[in-house]
């Protein structure tokens, strides 16, 4: 599963990405070899969206959702917007749960 994390500059999102990687690595149920993560600034989304399985949107760019949707909708990419508290805690476990829920919802709507 390719998970793309998107924020204003890509810096703080890299810390969240590292937390998510640790969650996968420490999980007894998840195989870290089946996951790839990439943190990018929102300006690069168009060039990175292909082959993405889920998009994680940082709270600092949640207001750009109207610009993000036309980029991801042709690819049917599920997305989550991380709330400020979860983001501030760099809570990778909660974000991974959000991603899995978004994926399941997307599969049910196909």
* Tokens standing for residue 38: 């990439």
90-94 long-range contacts (CB < 8 A, ≥24 apart) are: 90/15, 90/16, 90/19, 91/19, 92/16, 92/18, 92/19, 92/20, 92/21, 92/22, 92/23, 93/19, 93/23
Query: In this structure, are residues 95 and 80 in contact, taking their beta carbons and an 8 Å threshold?
Result: yes
Catalytic residue among 7, 16, 55, 68: 7
Catalytic residue flag (residue 7): yes
Cα-to-chain-centroid distance, residue 92: 10
Residues catalogued as catalytic: 7
């Amino acid at each position: 599963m390719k998970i793309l994390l998107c924020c204003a500059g890509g810096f703080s999102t890299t810390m969240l990405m590292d937390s998510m990687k640790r969650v996968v690595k420490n999980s007894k149920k998840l195989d870290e070899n089946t996951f790839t993560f990439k943190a990018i600034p929102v300006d690069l989304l168009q060039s990175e969206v292909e082959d993405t399985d889920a998009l994680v949107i940082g709270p600092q760019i949640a207001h750009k959702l109207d610009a993000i949707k036309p980029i991801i909708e042709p690819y049917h990419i599920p997305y989550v917007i991380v709330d400020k508290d979860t983001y501030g805690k760099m809570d990778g476990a909660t974000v991974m749960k959000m991603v899995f829920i978004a994926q399941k919802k997307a599969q049910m709507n196909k």
